[in-house]
Structure 1
Amino acid sequence: MNSTTRQQALDAMAGTTPENPLDVLVVGGGVVGAAAAFDASTRGLQVGLVEARDLAQGTSSRSSKLVHGGLRYLQMLDFKLVAEALRERNLLMTRTAPHLVKGLPFVFPFEHRLADRAFIGSGVTLYDGLSTAASALGNGLKSVFSGAGRAPLHRHMSRKGLQKRFAGLDHDKFIGALEYFDAQVDDARLVMTLARSAASLGAHVAVRTEVTEYLRSDRDGEEIVGVVVRDRETGAEHRVYARETIMAAGVWTGDQEKLAHAEAQDGTGPALKVLASKGIHITVPKDRIPAQGHVGVITQTDKSVLFIIPMGEYWSVGTTDTAWHEAVDVPAPNASDIDYVLEHANAVLETDLTHDDVIGTWAGLRPLLQPVDADEASSSKVSREHTVMRMAPGLSAVAGGKLTTYRSMAQDAVDFAIAERHRDRSSLTEHLPLLGAQGYGEWAERADDIAAGYNLAPKTVQRLLGRYGSLLSEVLELIDQRPELGEPVPGAAGYLGAEYVYAARCEGAVHLEDLLERRTRLFHEVRDRGLEASEHVAALVAAEIGWDEAQTEYELRAYASYVEAHRAAERAATDAEAAELMRAVLPAQQVLETS
């Protein structure tokens, strides 16, 4: 995917007619929308995907970046959701995306010797049992944790064992721990890979393409037969016709519902109400929290869950769970959010973290289904299960759920949408690996040879394999053609020049922010948020994306403004103040006005 294929996708969708429509049009390029486009494409359908901003620019790049069953949902007795999530976790790790989804052990520290071991231990025992049963139902998938067909079972640790495993914890406070296993993922890369996988099967994928109107049939005025989209890069508008449109808008569901006027004539028609709950994370240097090997920490706070998650050369620490009442386009951590995370992290760590330790932050909005009588103040108690609903003839919507269950959500959405027309077209996503997964094992076995042949550090090759899988061959081809692309970009935390060129050429990046915040995570990994690297990256990709000198200068200014606004939001006292600061740079992020 690149600027050329984006225009080709727009042209193809603009060429549809009421007599020759797409089979399925997906509105929304988050994880569920991208997965729905992939799912529909595996069924041999003609598919389009439009996203108003960049792939995963909303919630789907701002999660805890975990693929997990969700221990907290066991407390809510939501066994169905946990079992489904564990099955999807195991499927991702073993078949569909083993290059992107990696096992991660967690320690759950104990303060009370008997009560905690009994209560938490029983919960994790059930968790292990559900995981084993889920794998058995999934055709006996072989686990990558071990060769035994399942993840290792949890184990208990003494105080001494915990101190050896995770020295950074407060060992005067904790008398031991339990270690269990889940997985982690670069959420933005997962979404981008899903979209590329859909495109590889013929789907038309167009980012920076905003739905401005839903088209209704001339016959009865009720059936949705397509949409009007606006190209946010040029301002051009196009009509796109589709037999079925799937709204996968996450926290934007309410806005899209209003735009579609999907309610019945008497105003009592179906509607999905989605509550936006904000979760924030901070990043701190890896050496600030000593631990043995690749291991994370999970514990409960008074309002949420505390995760300390290893991510390369830094730790991600979060999260919060607070109702968000501002525009959903502009979530940002404020000062009290950061204070909350630091306070709860310091309650479990041996050495306190300070604001000076914070490298970066992000905030995401969880799309939680809102029961009619739910209290917005209790957002953490709203179920994460998803719902698919018919909004009007020809238009359905999917909402709720969680990152881990994206595949089953997408399958349900497509099944529902095409039930009347294509009941015989079954999904293949349970069996079809994403791009980069096929042949990944063989490439992983060659890691040492790749490191030697390209003069790369072994950890760099492992990082590359975790980003590209077997598609690493395409990145290495760039280095073969231009050896200088095998060098790290100055100020870019070890990312190679080839990675940015590849992102512009093959991964659909349109703006500089796409490259520094989602195709790579530099915005969260270095203290200057990528400002030093931005000029080098812009020079590398300008010709690939088609930027002239004026556009390149604009991209640099827009990114610098975005960084400045985000830093100011981190010092704001309230959500309203933080949102206002981010709103001021929103147009600059999204579109270069033509003159």
Structure 2
Amino acid sequence: MGTQLNENGRSAALKAMSDDEGVDVLVIGGGVTGAGIALDAATRGLRTAVVEMQDWASGTSSRSSKLVHGGLRYLYQLDFALVAEALRERGRLLRTMAPHLVTAQPFLWPLKTPVIERAYSAVGVGLYDALAILGARGLSVPVQKHYSKAAALRLFPQMRHDSLAGAIRFYDARVDDARLVLALVRTAVGHGALAASRTQVVDLTKDPTGRVTGAVVADLETGEERTIRARQVINATGVWTEQTEALGGAQDGLEVLASKGVHIVVPKDRVRGETGLFLRTEKSVLFVIPWQRYWIIGTTDTPWTESRQHPVATAEDVDYILEQANAVLDPALTREDIIGVYAGLRPLLQPGTKGDDGGQSSTKVSREHTVAEVTPGLTVIAGGKLTTYRKMAEDAVDFALGPRARSLPSVTATTPLVGAAGFAATKRRAARIAGSHGWTAERVEHLLHRYGSEISTILEMIDSDPELGRPLPSADAYLGAEVAFAVTHEGALHLEDILLHRVRLSYETRDRGVSALEEIAAIAAPLLGWDSARTSAEVETYRRQADAEAAAERQATDAAAEDARLTAGDVVPVRDLPWDT
């Protein structure tokens, strides 16, 4: 199946989705929920279109804790159904849908007291394991293991001796969130969906009865407007939910608040430990998560009342994370250790619908997400989390279809994403791949867990152009072929698309990837048909944005930090609409 996302395919998709035939389902929003809905609808045989006003995964879905987890803390709220649902989805991702992108990850839970806390925590983690085994119909990750204080310190030598009396090891999973979204969109395209990024919905169309019949979209790359006719429109815009609802004239839609979550990134050698850490804090939880070359530590949870396109971290956010991490780490982390910082917004769904007494028959509510028809023809979904995106997508499409859903059930629970089919067999060739290309085992592991069985396409690109097999001089963890693949297969239209969501130097290096800009541009520019002036403009825009985000992190307040970021502007500005906040 053809799963390529690129500039030509985007233009063709825009033309097709705005033809006279129209589409069965138009999805607004290209984060993990919208991408999941597009895949769900397309695999039911529906003519499906999905549009995103920025790059794919440019909002919440590229700025998460990058975990696929059941939510251990929900067990203490006795929300067993929610945890079971999330663990069932975790098992599906690990085993079937995305085993190349989702990796089992052990965490150490430090215990403060040796008997009472260990006893009730063991029961909680044991229930977590049991729910996972029942949901996945088998063991997808190892079960809990208990450690004495001395054994826990051998497993994680950098833990402060006075911070624990023992520990429990349990498993969850980690994922590159943006790559998961890209895989969902590409898989949807492979099943016939029409997909266009940098495409902003500027109005919703209605028939004389007031039913929503489609949308007017602006191609932000060209300025051209198109009208898309749709039998059902599904709004999956996260923290922009209310603004998108307003286009349809909804008075009693879903209410979504924004909460900012910040993470810091430190080099792998700066923290000595063989597992991740799960730390309960006064406010919430803090994760210390190992990746191949670095650790991600977070998160915060503070209200965000500024505009929603560019959430940024402040000095206070960074200090808070350091303080929480250093409560258990010795030697402590300092600001000099930080190589990256990123901030994202969580959509906090408020109960019911605005003006609703809680009894609307048009609303389907779970513990974490809600689906509602806020005006005829416009279905809205909000809430939830990355782990349960597939179930959210199934619920949204079921709701939009109504009685038709019984004859067109969802099949996404058994549908592998691009790169998943044949992954187990491809992994067994890892040593041969490394030997034939002169790569380390770590290099091949990096490629396998980014591309899965599509590593064969990367190898074909290198065979055609051996220069693409060389590491980037200023970012040697990545090959030139990965930059090229970002453009030819993953829909990158700009340098920021590559550095923020594909070759993720924006938070993996101290300079946010600026030192690698020229060499990345040298590969991407010919593929995108840029002349020297356009290439220079793209480089300069990214430099300004990197400088602006660094300046934001020195500010004391959200308002000051946002002002600092907005000085840089955008490579492709979204349109200002009356409801923008």
TM-score, with structure 2 as normaliser: 0.94
Matching of residue 2 in structure 1 with residue 16 in structure 2: no
CA separation of 1:34 and 1:373: change in aligned 2, threshold 3 A: closer
Matching of residue 329 in structure 1 with residue 309 in structure 2: yes
- Measure the CA separation in 2 of the matches of 1:58 and 1:458: 33
Match of 1:267 in 2: none
Match of 2:345 in 1: 365
Displacement, 1:446?
0.3
- Measure the CA separation in 1 of the matches of 2:40 and 2:294: 34
Q: What letter is aligned with 1:564?
A: D
Could you tell me whether the CA contact under 8 Å between 1:368 and 1:383 is conserved in 2?
A: no
Could you tell me whether the CA contact under 8 Å between 1:2 and 1:545 is conserved in 2?
A: no
- Measure the CA separation in 2 of the matches of 1:53 and 1:261: 23
Report Cα offsets for 1:480-534 as digits up to 9, x if no partner: 0111111111222410000000110010001101101111211111111101111
Match of 1:243 in 2: 231
Q: What letter is aligned with 1:560?
A: R
Q: What letter is aligned with 1:250?
A: G
Match of 1:257 in 2: 245
- Measure the CA separation in 2 of the matches of 1:40 and 1:328: 28
- Measure the CA separation in 1 of the matches of 2:449 and 2:127: 30
- Between the two proteins, what is the percent identity of the paired residues? 50
Displacement, 1:258?
1.4
CA separation of 1:272 and 1:586: change in aligned 2, threshold 3 A: farther
Match of 2:115 in 1: 114
Q: CA RMSD in A?
A: 1.7
Match of 2:362 in 1: none
- Measure the CA separation in 2 of the matches of 1:583 and 1:372: 34
Report Cα offsets for 1:197-223 as digits up to 9, x if no partner: 001111110000000000001x32x11
The equivalent position to 1:396 in structure 2, one of 351, 368, 379, is 379
Match of 1:305 in 2: 285
Q: What letter is aligned with 2:246?
A: K
- Measure the CA separation in 2 of the matches of 1:150 and 1:498: 33
Match of 1:286 in 2: 268
SS of aligned partner of 1:368: strand
Could you tell me whether the CA contact under 8 Å between 2:316 and 2:556 is conserved in 1?
A: yes
List gaps (5 residues or longer) in structure 2: 355-364, 576-581
Match of 1:378 in 2: none
Match of 2:149 in 1: 159
Q: Which stretch of the first structure deviates more once superposed, 242-251 or 69-78?
A: 69-78
Matching of residue 195 in structure 1 with residue 199 in structure 2: no
Could you tell me whether the CA contact under 8 Å between 2:94 and 2:140 is conserved in 1?
A: no
Match of 1:441 in 2: 424
Displacement, 1:312?
1.5
Match of 2:56 in 1: 55
Displacement, 1:383?
9.0
Could you tell me whether the CA contact under 8 Å between 2:99 and 2:420 is conserved in 1?
A: yes
- Measure the CA separation in 2 of the matches of 1:464 and 1:119: 41
- Measure the CA separation in 2 of the matches of 1:485 and 1:530: 19
Match of 1:491 in 2: 474
- Measure the CA separation in 2 of the matches of 1:422 and 1:157: 49
Could you tell me whether the CA contact under 8 Å between 1:99 and 1:469 is conserved in 2?
A: yes
Displacement, 1:150?
3.9
The equivalent position to 2:17 in structure 1, one of 13, 19, 22, is 13
Match of 1:377 in 2: none
- Measure the CA separation in 2 of the matches of 1:495 and 1:14: 38
Q: What letter is aligned with 1:160?
A: A
- Measure the CA separation in 1 of the matches of 2:34 and 2:309: 17
Q: What letter is aligned with 1:478?
A: M
Could you tell me whether the CA contact under 8 Å between 2:221 and 2:572 is conserved in 1?
A: no
Q: What letter is aligned with 1:204?
A: L
Q: What letter is aligned with 2:320?
A: Y
List gaps (5 residues or longer) in structure 1: 141-148, 264-269, 375-381
- Measure the CA separation in 1 of the matches of 2:129 and 2:398: 30
Could you tell me whether the CA contact under 8 Å between 1:233 and 1:591 is conserved in 2?
A: no
Q: What letter is aligned with 1:559?
A: Y
Match of 2:66 in 1: 65
Displacement, 1:589?
5.2
Matching of residue 38 in structure 1 with residue 26 in structure 2: no
Match of 1:81 in 2: 82
Displacement, 1:372?
6.9
Match of 2:361 in 1: none
Match of 1:274 in 2: 256
- Measure the CA separation in 2 of the matches of 1:206 and 1:549: 26
TM alignment of 1:501-516, pairs within 5 A: 501-516=484-499
Report Cα offsets for 1:250-275 as digits up to 9, x if no partner: 01101111122123xxxxxx310112
Displacement, 1:421?
4.9
Displacement, 1:590?
4.0
- Measure the CA separation in 2 of the matches of 1:61 and 1:224: 30
CA separation of 1:488 and 1:591: change in aligned 2, threshold 3 A: farther
Displacement, 1:151?
2.4
Displacement, 1:563?
0.4
Q: What letter is aligned with 1:45?
A: L
CA separation of 1:307 and 1:422: change in aligned 2, threshold 3 A: closer
Could you tell me whether the CA contact under 8 Å between 1:384 and 1:400 is conserved in 2?
A: no
Q: What letter is aligned with 2:31?
A: G
CA separation of 1:4 and 1:106: change in aligned 2, threshold 3 A: same
SS of aligned partner of 2:417: coil
Match of 1:266 in 2: none
Match of 2:96 in 1: 95
Q: What letter is aligned with 2:309?
A: D
Match of 1:430 in 2: 413
- Measure the CA separation in 2 of the matches of 1:346 and 1:184: 23
The equivalent position to 2:391 in structure 1, one of 408, 411, 414, is 408
Displacement, 1:119?
2.5
Displacement, 1:171?
1.9
Displacement, 1:76?
2.0
CA separation of 1:52 and 1:59: change in aligned 2, threshold 3 A: same
SS of aligned partner of 2:477: coil
Aligned positions, number: 561
Could you tell me whether the CA contact under 8 Å between 1:49 and 1:204 is conserved in 2?
A: yes
- Measure the CA separation in 1 of the matches of 2:27 and 2:574: 22
Displacement, 1:115?
2.4
Matching of residue 184 in structure 1 with residue 169 in structure 2: no
Match of 1:317 in 2: 297
